[in-house]
Structure 1
């Protein structure tokens, strides 16, 4: 899972949990508030009855002796003082028979308004309640009077604990627990999905820095770091590929120098031997001299081609192959290029077919460089043909471009060699087996020159049937 998605879900879960806690807390606080306002009066009356039960019991036992016995009255006064509860005992008609209250002058009460058996009607002020209890004769089981008690509110209502404070403390504790669990989950997620993969990437980077390109960056999750690992793995493979290419190119350059040195050494030795033979006068007549001169010329041409290829390759590496484009008419230019080449090809026994009609159009071209391209392609075709084979050159206009086609009926190119024919130093497997001389630079240089003309070069080849190269130059 993507880390961004996980964090978003984590935040939603935390907020939902906190919101549920807040809603439940508000509900509990509201319920507690309502309970504080509407405590059941039955339980309060029972607490009040328990508060005065001793006095009520004594009244019910001695209610007939109150008026005549000073001892009973003294006992009631002592009980009132000990329990700190003042009361008045009246008859059924409202006449005060005993008064243990602060209002000693009270002699009569109105039984219709002065007796309150209900708690909230008995409230006289903020902190005191006046509650009436009926006094019943135990023997006759009949009400004989009323006891009116003045009770303070703290004795009537049980002191409430501070539930809101406890609830708030519980809420804070739950929130702290939820936050701790959430932070632990977040820490675990960051450690497993961020820190550990980043450390692994650091190890992979150090391995690449030390030249170890075989260590693969593995990561099996689809998230942001998975994408980073994928790009890192692509980078590693690209660096590995470039490193191999660099090693191969260095090796190819060494082989190129070795091959060219060998290729130059052979014609130089031949040239030297023929010159020495001529100096020593072993040529009896002019025909022999001309024969020797022809061999020397061919070897000189071979060395010139090798030297030219090597020079162009060096200039290409430095980016200094100068291509100066000028407006030239194609017909005149191609005729001047093909005429000397055609003569040379025919002397080797290969049939050379020139274009029957060259379109005479203006093209931007460097005549010298185009001659190198055509010469290289025809020379390359000659290496893969035998006497009796054919090399043909054709020209035509195609979609606003001047097209030069060079085809041969030689051996063709092996399929496994086709992707690499324009690579530097590349020599096909068939060339190496058959011992065909070459530096592997000619086609690479041709591609560079044609592209410098803003054109394209391509080929088509069938093994055993020949090869055709196509050069397109914009009009």
Structure 2
């Protein structure tokens, strides 16, 4: 369950709990109120009626004794009402007002049907006063002669109050607070387990990675968003570990490269120095021997130049500053100029050279110096894997490559393809996946003559070729079979 769903679940649970709690409290409140309302009302009415009867008993006795001459005794009635804090409205059986102790609200007649009630007490407009009706009877005959309506202030009566509502409401609040508090505790515990603790663990893993330890795996047994975060973090750890390993390998290979080139430079430099000293000491008896020495020194200087060129291209590539200046030119004069010295160079190594029958004369955008470097690197690489009597051939042709379908039509690509093939030992299968990697030096099964020291080079040649060809918007590939030779292809777009 992801964090969003988990949060929604807990919010819904909390709301449902509060609603259920509120509903239960409301139900209990209504049920208790309905059950006790009638009892409380009867109890309150009976209690108030009895208290009012006690308050008005003296006045009622006086009325029953002197009801026939109320006007003569009105002052006494007024005084008695004042002493008892009562208001008296005396009416006959027809509703005519006989006596009214409230001079501020005079009345002459009332409606008997709507005013006279004996079984309960109705409240007046003033909620702090209560009305009670008592029948006035003649003491001699025992017959009712009038109705006495007393208005009594509520403060003079001790009426039972309903405390059920307050009690239930208070309990409901207490229970609600307890339930909410428990839910908050559970929510906090869940947050601690599902979010805070995993984040703290992730922080500790980040600190370990920051110190350079990439071996500790980051694991989280649960799913959801936190599980996805842990998975991505562990993937990042593995990527950083891989990049660190590759960086270390690159630094090691870089150091080995410098060491190898330094070593490889010593050999031709020592040879040249030895031949120069021989010439200086007059060892050369004739001009032919001197020219032979000069030829050896020239070949060794070429080897040193090639190594220095590789090192220079490697350096500017590391800095991201390898420059390829593309200019429009025709392919025939460009490749004729490149291939003419290459044929002589291959022939001097005892290898048969076959140049192209014809070079297509098409317009291309190319850097002549960089293209020459690519061809020379491929030829030099072929020479490393060939022996005397083998063949190196170069073929150039214009091709139309069919690209993927686009809007129902085939998209054509007009390219100039250059192929450098040899009949040497081929590339070992284990070396094929890494042939364009920097610093990689493939192994050779080619036998060496006694005392011959074979140099595999710096491992940069093919990597440099790939960089230059891709800068020309072309691509480079190869095909190789053991003991049957290797063919490298690279293409340049035709404009």
TM-score range, shorter chain: 0.7 to 0.9
Among candidates 478, 482, 495, match of residue 459 of structure 1: 478
> Corresponding residue for 1:304?
305
Separation of aligned partners in 1, 2:218 and 2:181? 34
Q: 1:106 to 1:7 in 2, by over 3 A?
A: farther
Q: Which residue of 2 aligns with 1:217?
A: 218
* Partners of 2:385 and 2:444 within 8 A in 1: no
Structure 1, 436-445 or 421-430: larger mean CA deviation: 421-430
- 1:34 — aligned with what? 34
Q: How does 1:10-409 map to 2 (within 5 A)?
A: 10-39=10-39, 104-105=64-65, 122-123=119-120, 125-126=122-123, 159=160, 161-396=162-397, 397-398=399-400, 399-409=413-423
| 1:423 match | 437
Per-residue deviation, residues 19-76 of structure 1 (Å, max 9, x unmatched)? 22223333333334434554499x969x979x99xxxxxxxxxxxxxxxxxxxxxxxx
Q: Distance in 1 between matches of 2:196 and 2:482?
A: 57
2:236 and 2:8 mapped to 1: Cα distance? 31
Q: Which runs of 5+ in 1 are unaligned?
A: 53-79, 88-99, 108-119, 133-151
Secondary structure, aligned partner of 2:430: helix
Work out whether residues 439 and 460 of structure 2, in 8 Å CA contact, stay in contact via their aligned partners in 1. Answer: yes
Aligned residue for 2:64, secondary structure, equals coil
Report the CA distance shift for 1:39/1:352 in structure 2 as closer, same or farther (over 3 A): farther
Indicate conservation of the 8 Å contact 1:267/1:300, yes or no: yes
Shift of 1:367: 0.3
3-state DSSP class of the match of 2:417? Answer: strand
> Deviation at 1:364?
0.6
Contact 1:86 1:102 in 2 (8 A): no
- 1:472 partner SS: strand
* Structure 1 residues 269 and 125, CA gap change in structure 2 (3 angstroms): closer
Aligned partner of residue 400 in structure 1, secondary structure: strand
Tell me the TM-score normalized by structure 1.
0.75
Equivalent in the alignment of 1:70 = none
Matched residue SS, 2:253: helix
**Quick one: structure 1 residues 293 and 11, their matched pair in 2 at CA, closer, same or farther if it must change by over 3 Å?**
same
Cα offsets for 1:97-121 (capped at 9, x unmatched)? xxx96753499xxxxxxxxxxxx97
Deviations 1:73-94 (A, max 9, x none): xxxxxxx99x96999xxxxxxx
Counterpart of 1:147?
none
Q: Deviations over 1:419-445 (max 9, x none)?
A: 322222221244899844301111121
Contact residue 374 and residue 465 of structure 2 kept, 8 A: yes
Determine if contact 1:422/1:444 at 8 Å carries over to the other structure. Answer: yes
Distance in 1 between residues matched to 2:394 and 2:134, nearest whole Å? 131
> How far is 1:380 from its partner?
0.5
Provide the aligned length of Structure 1 versus Structure 2.
416
Query: Which residue does the alignment assign to 1:139?
Result: none
Q: Which residue of 2 aligns with 1:414?
A: 428
1-structure distance, mates of 2:187, 2:243: 41
Q: Cα 1:432–1:162, aligned 2, differ >3 Å: closer, same or farther?
A: farther
Tell me, what secondary structure is at the counterpart of 2:489? strand
Given that residues 351 and 390 in structure 1 are in contact (C-alpha distance below 8 angstroms), is that contact kept between their aligned partners in structure 2?
A: yes
For each residue in 1:411-469, what CA deviation from the matched residue of structure 2 results, as whole angstroms up to 9, or x when unmatched? Answer: 22233333322222221244899844301111121122112222222223333333222
Counterpart in the other structure of 1:66: none
Change (3 A) 1:322 1:244: same
Q: CA RMSD in A?
A: 4.1
Residues 160-182 of structure 1, C-alpha deviation per residue, up to 9 Å, x if partnerless? Answer: 54121112112212221222122
SS of match in other structure, 1:274: helix
Q: CA deviation at 1:270?
A: 1.4
Distance across 2 between alignment mates of 1:291 and 1:125: 143
Does the 8 Å contact 1:278/1:289 carry over to 2?
A: yes
Provide the rounded CA distance (Å) in 2 between the counterparts of 1:163 and 1:180. Answer: 26
Partner of 1:449: 468
Distance (whole Å) between structure 1 residues aligned to residue 122 and residue 301 of structure 2 = 135
Q: Which deviates further from its counterpart, 450-459 or 334-343?
A: 450-459
Task: Output the CA distance in 2 between the equivalents of 1:306 and 1:431.
Answer: 23
Q: Is the 8 A contact 2:351 2:388 kept in 1?
A: yes
Residue 374 of structure 1 and its aligned partner are, at CA, apart by 0.6
The 1:296–1:186 alpha-carbon spacing in structure 2 relative to 1, beyond 3 Å, is same
Q: CA deviation at 1:230?
A: 2.2
Distance 2:436 2:447 in 1: 19
Q: Given that residues 29 and 169 in structure 2 are in contact (C-alpha distance below 8 angstroms), is that contact kept between their aligned partners in structure 1? A: no
In structure 2, C-alpha distance between the alignment counterparts of 1:27 and 1:282, rounded to whole Å: 125
